[in-house]
């Protein structure tokens, strides 16, 4: 599923280093010079060209796809793949093949559980039936046509920067967030022949990372506002929300983002409620803040950070009237909804939407089905994906676990999309 006031200077800034200690997050303001610690296989070569005859490993290409599917990005360093699952009506998953992307996965420096340290690295666009995947280790993006559980017609395009880690879609426009180096966003048109770069859309984020960034100093997500009028980027250690107001032709209306300070520490993931208000997950104290995004790109807090009592909240997705967040430090899922006054509240007293389990360690990225009936969660340390049914009270009931996926080690899976 597709998901999301002064200009920034470019002077050296203190960065916030995030370190998981046991199940906790130690946040220390220090100046960091991150060595270029690219994992094996992360050296970028010439941008690959699309497309070529293509078949999934272990799948008959003439097979008819199922109506519903879940796709998981393996993010393997020696060759990124998409793992396809058939999704039954009751939410259970059945493995349905593995598809190479034609690029390489990546691993950010010192990442504790999440190699890409981002949300939105694998995105399904319902309007065009296209799945978009980042290849962080080769600075490319791959697009597939989706037919049920089958992926077809891959096209590989250079991302316009270093270490692509997140993608946002609005209409026929996609923006890729590059986390390496100075950081950047680059716009593309979604076409029948893959992604076509849009002239005049490349914008710097003014960061000072190595080509393979330190996980705590990389940006967390790029997302469009629901009306497509603005593009939002979160930056973790800078503690900022950076907004590009957009022109009607899909180009940013400004050369530099409009920068606002985050209400909570270490902003990571972004989602929106039905009224277009922006919800931001903040890792430092596992909080969610709510904002209004103005036409000029300024961001105004409308609700102060709400803590969930868990450890290292990074991921956040909407499912109808509810929102679900993943806290990797405690390997837990939290649920949120709006009360009768429109305020964001937790769906349970202890902050949990589902009880944690031993086979679900290292909770990271989240995907929600189009009907908001099921939520799927990656468990990086376990190498599993859990599927949950959403209850009327916003609590989650586990219905399936898929295993055998790339667990976090030298790198690990990250990125999940539900169709």
pLDDT digits (tens, 9 = 90+) for 6-39: 333 333 333 344 544 433 444 443 333 333 333 3
What is the rounded CA–CA span in Å between residue 267 and residue 234?
6
Q: What are the residue boundaries of the structural domains of the chain, listed by start?
A: 6-31+69-418
Backbone angles phi, psi at 232, to 5 degrees: -115, 140
* Predicted local distance difference test score (pLDDT) of residue 59: 43
**How many percent of the chain have pLDDT more than 70?**
84
* Predicted local distance difference test score (pLDDT) of residue 358: 84
CB 147 within 8 A of CB 138: no
Is residue 247 pLDDT above 90, yes or no? yes
Is residue 50 pLDDT above 50, yes or no? no
Looking up tokens 């060759």, which residue turns up?
A: 79
* Predicted local distance difference test score (pLDDT) of residue 11: 34
Name the band, by pLDDT with cuts 50, 70 and 90, for residue 116. very high
* Predicted local distance difference test score (pLDDT) of residue 357: 85
* Predicted local distance difference test score (pLDDT) of residue 323: 98
| Sheet hosting strand 384-390, strand order edge to edge | 363-368, 374-379, 384-390, 396-402
Q: What is the mean pLDDT of residues 35-52?
A: 36
* Predicted local distance difference test score (pLDDT) of residue 201: 98
- Higher-confidence residue of 240 and 359: namely 240
Task: Give the global pTM.
Answer: 0.86
Is residue 40 pLDDT above 80, yes or no? no
* Predicted local distance difference test score (pLDDT) of residue 219: 98
Please enumerate in sequence order all residues whose Cβ is within 8 A of that of 217, keeping only pairs 6 or more positions apart, or say none: 15, 16, 17, 32, 34, 207, 209, 236, 237, 238
Is residue 350 pLDDT above 50, yes or no? yes
What is the rounded CA–CA span in Å between residue 252 and residue 241?
16
Q: What is the mean pLDDT of residues 297-326?
A: 97
Is residue 60 pLDDT above 90, yes or no? no
Q: What is the mean pLDDT of residues 251-274?
A: 98
What is the rounded CA–CA span in Å between residue 309 and residue 333?
11
Q: What is the mean pLDDT of residues 317-322?
A: 98
Is residue 313 pLDDT above 80, yes or no? yes
Name the band, by pLDDT with cuts 50, 70 and 90, for residue 410. confident
For the domain 6-31+69-418, what is the CATH superfamily, name and number?
Answer: YVTN repeat-like/Quinoprotein amine dehydrogenase (2.130.10.10)
- In this predicted model, what pLDDT tens digit does every residue of 361-390 receive, in sequence order? 999 999 999 999 999 999 999 999 999 999
* Predicted local distance difference test score (pLDDT) of residue 8: 31
**How many percent of the chain have pLDDT more than 90?**
82
In terms of Cβ atoms closer than 10 Å to its own Cβ (0-12, 13-18, 19+), residue 308 is: buried
CB 365 within 8 A of CB 416: yes
Q: What is the mean pLDDT of residues 177-190?
A: 98
Q: Poorest-confidence range of 12-21, 77-86, 298-307? A: 12-21
| C-alpha pair distances (Å), 339 with each of 275, 305, 333, 370 | 14, 16, 20, 23
Looking up tokens 């929102």, which residue turns up?
A: 323
What is the rounded CA–CA span in Å between residue 47 and residue 315?
30
Q: Identify which of 188, 185, 169, 189 has the alpha carbon closest to the alpha carbon of residue 177.
A: 185
Mean pLDDT estimate for the chain = 87
Two tokens, residue 315 = 């991921």
* Predicted local distance difference test score (pLDDT) of residue 77: 97
* Predicted local distance difference test score (pLDDT) of residue 356: 86
Name the band, by pLDDT with cuts 50, 70 and 90, for residue 359. confident
User: For residue 206, how many C-alpha atoms fall within 13 Å in the half-sphere facing its CB?
Assistant: 17
| C-alpha pair distances (Å), 235 with each of 194, 204, 243 | 28, 13, 11
């Amino acid at each position: 599923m597709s998901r999301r006031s002064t200009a920034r200077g470019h002077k050296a800034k203190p960065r916030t280093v995030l370190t998981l200690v046991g199940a906790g997050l130690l946040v220390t303001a220090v100046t960091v010079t991150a060595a270029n610690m690219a994992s094996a296989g992360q050296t970028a070569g010439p941008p690959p060209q699309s497309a070529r005859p293509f078949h999934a490993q272990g799948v008959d290409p003439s097979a008819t796809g199922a109506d519903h599917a879940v796709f998981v990005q393996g993010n393997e360093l020696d060759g990124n793949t998409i793992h396809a699952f058939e999704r039954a009506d009751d939410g259970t998953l059945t493995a349905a093949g593995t598809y190479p992307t034609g690029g390489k996965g990546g691993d950010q420096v010192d990442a504790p559980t999440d190699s890409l340290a981002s949300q939105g690295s694998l995105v399904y666009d319902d309007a065009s039936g296209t799945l978009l995947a980042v290849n962080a280790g080769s600075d490319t993006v791959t697009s597939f046509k989706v037919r049920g559980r089958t992926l077809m017609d891959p096209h590989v395009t250079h991302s316009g920067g270093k270490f692509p880690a997140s993608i946002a879609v609005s209409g026929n426009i996609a923006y890729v967030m590059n986390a390496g180096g100075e950081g950047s966003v680059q716009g593309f048109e979604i076409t029948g022949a893959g992604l076509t770069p849009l002239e005049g859309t490349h914008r710097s984020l003014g960061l000072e990372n190595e080509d393979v960034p330190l996980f705590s100093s990389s940006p967390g997500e790029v997302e469009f506002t629901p009306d497509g009028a603005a593009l939002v980027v979160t930056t973790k250690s800078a503690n900022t929300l950076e907004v590009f107001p957009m022109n009607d032709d899909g180009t940013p209306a400004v050369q530099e983002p409009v920068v606002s300070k985050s209400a909570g520490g270490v902003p990571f993931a972004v989602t929106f409620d039905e009224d277009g208000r922006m919800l931001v997950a903040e890792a430092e104290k596992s909080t969610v803040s709510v904002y209004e995004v103005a036409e000029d790109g300024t961001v105004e807090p409308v609700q102060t950070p709400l803590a969930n009592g868990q450890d290292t909240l990074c991921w956040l997705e909407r499912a109808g009237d509810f929102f679900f967040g993943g806290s990797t430090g405690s390997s837990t899922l939290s649920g949120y909804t709006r009360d009768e006054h429109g305020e964001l509240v937790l769906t349970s007293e202890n902050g949990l939407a589902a009880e944690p389990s031993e086979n679900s360690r290292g909770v990271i990225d989240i995907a929600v089905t189009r009907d908001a009936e099921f939520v799927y969660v990656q468990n990086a340390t376990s190498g599993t994906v859990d599927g949950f049914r959403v209850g009327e009270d916003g609590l989650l009931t586990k219905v399936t676990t898929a295993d055998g996926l790339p667990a976090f080690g030298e790198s690990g899976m990250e990125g999940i999309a539900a169709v």
